[in-house]
Chains A and B, each alone.
Chain A
Amino acid sequence: MKDKCKSIHPILGAWFDGELPDHKSRRIARHVEACPACRAEVDRIKALRSLLQDGFAAAVTAEDEALSSLHQRIMKRIPERETKNRKRTGREGPLMSFFRFRRITLPMAVTAMLVAAVFFTIYKPAPSVIKTGSVNDCIVDDLESGGRTVLLFKTHGSAMTVIWVVGNPDT
């Protein structure tokens, strides 16, 4: 290989791609026309570029096809997922479905009102009369013992009223 060829070889790729200044490019073109070794090198570069371009194009096509297929698969699965969700919600029963109801505020407010209404209907404060006196307060309105003696008294314990019938009518 000539000295000139040695200096041109490393930049033949750049020349082939049109990346060199005009004056330099014209000089290399003249040399390549005259030099079989450099022409062979250019042919080799040309073949390599061609191979690379073909390979890249094939790869891009394959990638496009893969993306397209992925997109189709995703779009196909979306309706399936929605159907499954609907079926699952249906299996949760009416109570869960109810609580999934978006407008839950109104039912909750009504529930609170019902609970309050039931509470205030059932709850009756004890009359004040109960707060005074003994636990066993008792008034005897009337008493009839068929002529028997009756003792009526209250115990010391909790002031419990005792009605004690004594003996028989003839005693």
Chain B
Amino acid sequence: MSRKVKLHGWIFWGVGLMLLWGAAVPPAHGEMFHIEVQVILASNSDEGFDPRLLALKKDLLALNYISFQLLGNKGLAMERGKTGRLEVPGGRVMEVTPERFEKGKVILHVKINEGDASLLTTRLRIRDHGTVMLGGPPYRHGFLVLAVTANR
């Protein structure tokens, strides 16, 4: 057996063991969560239904408005316990903190501030890949709806 073949054998074993170790050892940092927030303007104007919101159409139409426009969309990748901030139209700020994952649900702490005042503070257990809608703050000629989807 040549020296070169022996060397290749050692390289193969080394890479294989490194792969095995990498797959078996959990990451040093905490769990990662992906939170997606769609900022939607619900109104009774004649703007119609934004085609980018088709996946939410049935649920949005249950809110008894006729026009839904997507104002913004933001995805946040966060470690467990870390807080992500999102500016919401009308001078509002939304803070999202994924607390943990338990029994197939993402436990999420959500806070919406309007200036110095707290508009809403809640703790939700959302099924993984599930969506919850937070709405009500007035904006322009309608109301804001925040569709929050949580993925682990």
User: Which residue numbers of A lie inside 8 Å of B, CB to CB?
Assistant: 90, 94, 97-98, 101, 107, 110-111, 114, 117-118, 121-122, 126-127, 129-130, 133-146, 148, 150, 155-158, 160-166
The total of interchain contacts (Cβ-Cβ below 8 angstroms) comes to: 142
- B105 CB contact (under 8 Å) in A101, A137, A163, A165: A137
* Separation of A133 and B20 alpha carbons in the complex (Å): 37
* Separation of A101 and B56 alpha carbons in the complex (Å): 58
- A97 CB contact (under 8 Å) in B8, B119, B127: B8
In contact, B122 and A142 (Cβ under 8 angstroms): yes
In contact, A110 and B16 (Cβ under 8 angstroms): yes
Interface hub of A129, A136, A148 (most chain B Cβ within 10 A): A136
In contact, A94 and B8 (Cβ under 8 angstroms): yes
Closest to A149 in B: B136
* Separation of A101 and B6 alpha carbons in the complex (Å): 10
Closest to A135 in B: B130
Q: Does B104 contact A (CB under 8 A)?
A: yes
CB distance from A102 to the nearest CB of B (A): 8
CB distance from B133 to the nearest CB of A (A): 5
Closest to B117 in A: A146
CB-CB under 8 A for A144 and B122, given A121-B24, A133-B127, A166-B136: yes
In contact, A155 and B122 (Cβ under 8 angstroms): no
- A140 CB contact (under 8 Å) in B13, B103, B124, B130: B124
Chain A residues with CB under 8 A of B61: 157
In contact, A143 and B104 (Cβ under 8 angstroms): no
CB distance from B36 to the nearest CB of A (A): 14
CB distance from A139 to the nearest CB of B (A): 4
